Amino acid sequence: MKKLFVAATVLVLFTGLISSPSVRGDGPARAVDSSPHRIALIDMARVFKNYKKFEAMRDELKGELQKSEERFKGMAEIIKKEQAELKGYKEGSEEYSRVEKSLLTHTTQAEAFRKSQQRELIRKEAQIYKTIYLEVSDAVEKYATHFNFTLVLRFSADGVEGDQNPEDVMRGLNKQVVYYRPSEDITNAICEFLNRRYQRMAAAPADANAPAAH
């Protein structure tokens, strides 16, 4: 009788445990987003190529590079003249020593200038790419949020049909995206958005009372 009572008690407890909302899943549970995923694709190389601001920043950098090259050419001309002048003096003479010393100074200055300009060019070019990439990322986030895309992947829209170089062909064959619908490529939409915003900002008159950008 006692065994029967214990068995009945266990059965009741077991039945109650099974019917508990926390076990059945009827109670509070972790929130799961059941909305369908939407994937978009963007060709970043094409965005950089067609974004007018990127083109303008690159042109500005090219202008600085040209000025730097002109200055270096001027320094090189001085070195060339001193090299020719040095040949007209007898080695060991006072004039020879004077020109030789000046030539060494100008050669060292020119080399230091060349190296510093190379470093500065690399730094500025990297900053341009960083600026544009952050702007593109921001535009992609806004676009994806507005149109309910849950994932945006980078891809290249270029096919392998026209490739002749074996390396280009193999690179094309190793692309992650094999097929996509044109509606999933948001590259043109992002380019249009960025260019419209850039044109508005470029056309807007500068506000003298506006705080300086940091």
Contact 79, 109 (CB under 8 A): no
Look up residue 148 and give its DSSP letter.
T
The answer to the question of residue 26 being in a domain is no
Q: What is the CATH number for 59?
A: 3.30.910.20
The alpha carbon of 107 is separated from its chain's Cα centroid by a whole number of angstroms, namely 37
Task: Specify whether the backbone of 139 is left (phi greater than 0), alpha (psi in -120 to 50) or beta.
Answer: alpha
Question: Is 7 exposed, middle or buried (CB count within 10 Å of its CB: 0-12, 13-18, 19+)?
Answer: exposed
Distance CA 75, CA 109 (A): 8
Q: Residue 5: its pLDDT value, please?
A: 42
The answer to the question of residue 1 being in a domain is no
CA angle 143/149/154 to nearest 5° reads: 80
Q: Residue 78: its pLDDT value, please?
A: 96
Distance CA 175, CA 182 (A): 17
- State pTM to two decimals: 0.69
Domain count for the chain, please give it. 1
Which residue type occupies 58?
R
The answer to the question of residue 17 being in a domain is no
Domain hosting 94: range is 36-199
The answer to the question of residue 194 being in a domain is yes
pLDDT tens digits in sequence order for the chain, 214 residues long = 444 344 444 333 334 433 444 444 455 555 556 667 899 999 999 999 999 999 999 999 999 999 999 999 999 999 999 999 999 999 989 999 999 999 999 999 999 999 999 999 999 999 999 999 999 999 999 999 999 999 999 998 876 655 566 776 676 667 788 788 899 999 999 999 999 999 999 887 765 454 444 3
Q: Which of 42, 62, 40 is nearest to 192 (CA)?
A: 42
User: Per DSSP, what are the bridge partners of residue 132?
Assistant: none
- SS3 (DSSP) at 152: strand
The answer to the question of residue 145 being in a domain is yes
Q: Residue 203: its pLDDT value, please?
A: 87
The answer to the question of residue 137 being in a domain is yes
The answer to the question of residue 204 being in a domain is no
The answer to the question of residue 9 being in a domain is no
